[in-house]
Structure 1
């Protein structure tokens, strides 16, 4: 029962972790597209994308790295890997919560970010405002996946790695039978009488008397 529960938790953690990876891949593709547009606008002479493109690319790579570490932690069910994975996801959630709080509580939150000469930052803001419901549900899905991944990692860490397979190997069965084999060897004794020539003088005299 415990092995089935552990296997189910590992599969669900991989599935939930894939949502974070998909979000990271989307951010990487979007940042590469912005780099391509910026390279065309600059005429191929200057290739120095602004902070917004680098930030999107860095966050996407970070999400993909978290996804890889989460899959490794779920597969091995190692306590240290799961702990590192939970710390990374928790830091990511705290960063997202800080940015969200700054946007909703600070009216002049746009002044906290440097100027974007490409205008892609403004395009992203307009897109989010025009499709607020869709973006809201996508953001809630990603945050819910992160929170659920932390919870599943905590439960899987509490269960610990699967140690039942270690008792099914032949290496543990053979030593258990060795004492029986040793006892049989010790209890079995053989006595070998040497085949010596029968040249005893006393026996030779008795034989001569019997023959007479």
Structure 2
């Protein structure tokens, strides 16, 4: 029963982890596309002697977040496959940190109407385009965000469950190993299992030398 429960938890954790991996891959592909377009625009603008001194921070940030999601996905897959407590602790801690950062960003955007002023200027203009695209498809992105948060929360619960299940199985394994070692000692040394029998009674006096029991008959 324990193996079936652990297998189900591993499969569910891998499925939730796969969602974050797909989001990370999509972000990497979109960042590479933005970098390609920005490079083409930069080459066209250089022919007209227009240069941008600012760095394309939005593209780098988008690419970095995508790579981070993919690395977290790899760590989660390793943790779910091996059920190693160290990897599970690291994975749950990182996902909790990501959730806190996402919550802080969402709260800042919702409560601060001038949050765009806190960001540096984007020379590529892709940040403005992405913002308009999100606003025009807000319902779709809202469900995507909820799906990501749900997947991360479920992955944390699955990781904690695997940690608890792994510790319980480790303790039961230790007890079984101790019992096996004790039984093995019994098989190797039978005297440990069956102590010698002692007969307690009146001592028997030896017969006199040369006396035969048949002489009395």
Smaller-chain TM-score bracket: 0.7 to 0.9
- 2:75 and 2:181 map into 1 onto residues whose CA distance is 38
Distance 2:85 2:111 in 1: 38
- How big is each residue's C-alpha offset from its partner over 1:74-119, in whole Å with a ceiling of 9 and x where there is no partner? 0111111101001111111111111111100001000011111111
Q: Does 1:138 align with 2:144?
A: yes
Partner of 1:160, secondary structure, is helix
Q: Is 2:128 the partner of 1:122?
A: yes
Contact 1:38 1:49 in 2 (8 A): no
1:11 match: 11
CA RMSD of aligned residues (A): 2.8
Q: How does 1:186-205 map to 2 (within 5 A)?
A: none
Find the counterpart in structure 2 of residue 83 from structure 1.
Answer: 89
Q: Distance in 1 between matches of 2:65 and 2:28?
A: 8
Aligned match of 2:32: 32
Looking at structure 1, the residues matched to 145 and 153 of structure 2 have their Cα atoms a distance apart, in angstroms, of: 12
Equivalent in 111, 116, 124 of residue 117 of structure 2: 111
Give the CA deviation at 1:128.
0.6
When Rg is computed on C-alpha atoms for both structures, the one with the higher figure is 1
TM-score when normalising by structure 1: 0.76
Q: Alignment partner of 1:86: what SS?
A: helix
For residues 77 and 111 of structure 2, the distance between their equivalents in structure 1, rounded to whole angstroms, comes to 36
Q: Is the 8 A contact 1:13 1:149 kept in 2?
A: yes
Does structure 2 retain, via aligned residues, the 8 Å contact 1:21–1:67? Answer: yes
Provide structure 2 residue ranges, at least 5 long, that are not aligned to the other structure: 191-217
Give distance in 2, aligned partners of 1:30 and 1:89.
23
What CA distance in whole angstroms lies between the structure 2 residues aligned with 1:100 and 1:154?
26
Extract unaligned runs of 5+ from structure 1. 167-171, 184-212
Match for residue 59 of structure 2 among 41, 53, 61: 53
Query: In the superposition, relative to structure 1, how do residues 173 and 118 fare at CA in structure 2: closer, same or farther (>3 Å)?
Result: same
Q: CA deviation at 1:174?
A: 11
Following superposition, the deviation at residue 180 of structure 1 comes to 4.4
Q: How high is the TM-score relative to the length of structure 2?
A: 0.75
Say if 2:22 is the partner of 1:22.
yes
CA distance in 1, matches of 2:55, 2:75: 29
When residues 165 and 94 of structure 1 are mapped into structure 2, their CA distance, relative to the original with a 3 A threshold, is same
Equivalent-residue separation in structure 1 for 2:73 and 2:146 (angstroms): 18
